[in-house]
Amino acid sequence: MTRERELLQQALDALDRAIGDAERHHRRQQMSVSYPSDSRPHIQMRHIDGPVLWMRDGRAHWLTIWERIAVRFGWQDAYSLERKYWGGSNG
């Protein structure tokens, strides 16, 4: 009985190590996502879901009707909208 218990404990320990390794690998993959330092915000007016502002770090903000009007008339651009919502980025 003790041999079976010892084998079971070894199997559980191996499983714990495998799960821990998988979690660490997943965290590393999540942290490795980055965008080029020279990325610039831009507005995609003909996006399938409607006009969208793409931030430097990859976040998206769909434009409201008033923001669309402001962009059309040149009162705002991608940089000013980025500063408005997220304080902008360095650069």
Residue 9, pLDDT above cutoff 90: no
And the tokens for 41? 């915000």
46/75 same-domain check: yes
82/48 same-domain check: yes
**What is the spatial distance between Cα 85 and Cα 79, in angstroms, rounded to a whole number?**
10
Q: Are 57 and 71 in contact (CB under 8 A)?
A: no
- What pLDDT band is residue 73 in, cutting at 50, 70 and 90? very high
21/53 same-domain check: no
58/25 same-domain check: no
> pTM for the complete prediction?
0.55
- What pLDDT band is residue 13 in, cutting at 50, 70 and 90? confident
Q: Does 14 fall in a domain?
A: yes
55/75 same-domain check: yes
Within the chain, what is the greatest distance between any pair of CA atoms?
81
Domain that holds residue 15: 1-33
Q: Are 51 and 44 in contact (CB under 8 A)?
A: yes
70/51 same-domain check: yes
